[in-house]
Amino acid sequence: MRSSKRVQIGLLRPFLFFILTVGWEPDMTSPVIGLTTYRGKSEHGSPTVALAQDYVVALTAAGGAPVLIPSDMEKMACASIIQHLDGILFSGGGDIAVQRFNGEPHPKVADVDQERDEAELELLNLALQYKKPFLGICRGIQLINVGTGGTLYTDIRDQVPGALEHDFSVGFPRNHPAHSLKVNPGTRLAKILGSTSMMVNSLHHQGVKEIGSGVEPVAFAPDGLVEALEIRDHPFAIGVQWHPECLSDLEPMRMLFRSFVEAAGRQA
């Protein structure tokens, strides 16, 4: 679920975060968007804070100023950082620990990072508390669901009878149109995308199962699997199961990032 093209910053103290300069010219009016990250290693084996560059490109194109948030942030540091952010993007990555949602153990559960789970769930709680706009992508939508008391299928292929194939992360380009989806009319997401039907990519083996409290499912794959969530009465709280940052040639996906950044700008 990770691109070979990554932004990496090594040897960070847990409480630091850095403004990226990939294709971005400083603008004091740009909303500051925090991006969650994962732990990686450089070619020399040094620990890094890493993220696929597509997220950065999509946010900067939409007018945002992205910053990386290390995955091992402690609660006090999360509380400090949230005050300096106008929005948060919960990125894709490894699976959430099954203990977080009383999930069914499965041999395909992989790349679990308990510290990342802890930090991102804390950031989600703070974003809800302070009404900070946020967008969840792939793992991000699953985090939103778990963080609001929902559960996940720990492997769609084994646990959802008649499910489509949802994991095209190996052997396909990341923008591969894997399946269609339907967006509920009248929802915020439908208004943003300008359509209730489209093709999307699919790079996940887990998915939303029982819906969290206060969260509304608003888009579905042909097999019924939830593809998007919204939280009403919030400036911007949307999670999508696909990877819109890899579909930047499509106007609806650009509009998703643009709407997110604009919502964050109203917090600045």
Active site residue 179: no
Active site residue 251: no
Q: Extract long-range pairs of 167-176: CB within 8 Å, 24+ residues apart.
A: 167/202, 167/203, 167/204, 167/205, 168/201, 168/202, 168/203, 169/1, 169/203, 169/204, 174/3, 174/54, 174/201, 174/203, 174/243, 174/246, 175/201, 175/246, 175/247, 175/249, 176/201
Integer Cα distance of 76 and 162 in angstroms: 45
User: Distance between terminal CA atoms of the chain?
Assistant: 32
| Candidates 118, 120, 122, 245; catalytic one | 245
3-state SS class at 223: coil
Active site residue 138: yes
Residue 242: both structure tokens together: 């696909």
What's the number of CA atoms in the CB half-sphere (13 Å) around residue 102?
A: 3
| Candidates 118, 138, 179, 205; catalytic one | 138
| Candidates 118, 166, 243, 246; catalytic one | 243
Return the active site residues: 138, 243, 245
